[in-house]
Amino acid sequence: MSDGRSVSRPWSAGAVNPKKVLFLGVVLTLGVVASHLALDVGSDAAMHSQVDTESHVRWLSTEVMRLDEVLTMSARMAAATGDSQWENRYWQHAPEFVARTKELTELTPDDYASASATHEAHHRLVEMELRSFELRRAGDGPAALALLQSTDYQLQQRIYDSGIARSNENALLRTSKLHAAHRRTTNATVAVGLVVCGVLLSLWAHIGKALMRYTVALDSAGQELANANLCLESRVEERTAALSAAHELLKQEMARRLEMERELRQAQKLKAVGCLAAGVAHEINTPMQFVSDSIYFVRDAVKDLVGVVEKLSAVRRCVLDGTPSQDAATEAAEAEEAADLPYLLEHLPAALDRALDGVGRVTTIVRAMKEFAHPDQKEMIAVDLNQAI
């Protein structure tokens, strides 16, 4: 130089080029952010898909239990009343039951592969229900009803209900495990992100030092250095704003997941209440059917008895008036034969006993539910858990 002073070169031999370091830092940062976002999106998509599948499995389990109740009640009513509409109702719902069971088996092959007792109980129930239909069509109604009220039938029903309940519990357990695994994955992702952020911060620290050395080396580019600093500050502010926005999104996501967990717990409670209500409704419906059938029989029998009484009153009036009573007596005898008076006298008390028995069973169920849900005691006392169950 003309003034005799040497001008330092921006890059000395063996120095690291800050541009290359800066480019490397940007590429690494964008790669880490992109991979982190891709991992979050993929994990959330997989989680939602699995949760939807398990929710559908729980719905199928509930539908299978409901349809099984419909088939059982239809078979029992067909055996008890001999009305063909109950058998028609049984065959009307049987295809839907088979379809729901097949779909549930396909979605949960592991559960159903180990549930041989449940399959065997289902086959035994179907065989006994079909046998009851054959007995009813053959005119042996008591045998059909006795078959469906037998200990073996009730045992197979309990085995099948327990198997379906276990399948539903397994679905709930899998959903809980999915949530736990998703939380572990999220925590691991956050931990890895923090580590990577530390590495990136270290890298950016080295980049800043290189830039500072580069700034010291460029004595003649002071204005450009100032502009570079302003640009760097602007980028830092943008980065801070982006991190703040990401933090806010993370908070919203955490709040959403907490709400989803709360809704899941509420759904589990509602499911338990629904199962209890369905069980109580089933228990009340059966005795009420007996009461209804008995009352209908008593109503028809009373109509026939009123006709017989009217004919006998006509005979009494003829006798009292001294008029010929042969025709009136014949009509009274015909009325007795048409009403099948011995049959009515034999079965009327039994029908009334069945109606009273059904009312008593309903009263017992209602009283038990009242004691279980609303005990009369106002203070905390010891409770017999066996009686409550």
Residue at 185 is within a domain: yes
The parts of the chain modelled with pLDDT lower than 70 are 1-22, 33, 36, 39-44, 46-47, 50-51, 109-116, 168, 171-172, 175, 178-179, 182, 193, 203, 210-211, 214-221, 325, 373-378, 388-389
CA separation, residue 39 to residues 33, 184, 192, 197, 364 (Å): 10, 13, 12, 16, 58
Residue span of the structural domain in which 70 resides = 16-217
Sign of CA dihedral 151, 157, 159, 161: negative
At residue 257, the pLDDT reads 93
Tally of residues, the chain: 389
Surface-to-core class of residue 72, CB atoms within 10 Å of its CB (0-12 exposed, 13-18 middle, 19+ buried):
buried
Round the average pLDDT of the chain to a whole number and report it.
77
d(CA 325, CA 246) in angstroms, rounded, equals: 105
Do residues 159 and 117 touch, judged by C-beta distance below 8 A? yes
Nearest to 122 by CA among 39, 65, 47, 58: 65
Residue at 325 is within a domain: no
**Predicted structure pTM score:** 0.35
Q: pLDDT per residue over 173-231, tens digit each?
A: 776 776 677 677 777 777 776 787 787 777 677 777 766 776 666 666 677 777 878 88
- Between helices 18-81 and 222-321, what is the axis angle to 10°? 0
At residue 5, the pLDDT reads 43
| DSSP, res 340 | T
Contacts for 114-121: CB closer than 8 Å, 24+ residues apart: 115/163, 115/166, 115/167, 117/159, 117/163, 118/159, 118/160, 118/162, 118/163, 118/164, 120/159, 121/156, 121/157, 121/159, 121/160, 121/163
At residue 367, the pLDDT reads 83
Q: Which residues contact 331 (CB under 8 A, 6 or more apart)?
A: 311, 314
Residue at 260 is within a domain: no
At residue 249, the pLDDT reads 92
Give the number of domains in the chain: 1
Residue at 269 is within a domain: no
Do residues 291 and 359 touch, judged by C-beta distance below 8 A? yes
DSSP string across 62-82: HHHHHHHHHHHHHHHHHHHH-
d(CA 119, CA 163) in angstroms, rounded, equals: 9
Residue at 374 is within a domain: no
353, HSE (Cβ side, Cα atoms, 13 Å): 5
303, HSE (Cβ side, Cα atoms, 13 Å): 6
Residue at 321 is within a domain: no
Nearest to 148 by CA among 162, 127, 117: 127
At residue 1, the pLDDT reads 45
Do residues 154 and 109 touch, judged by C-beta distance below 8 A? no
d(CA 123, CA 131) in angstroms, rounded, equals: 12
Residue at 250 is within a domain: no
Residue at 212 is within a domain: yes
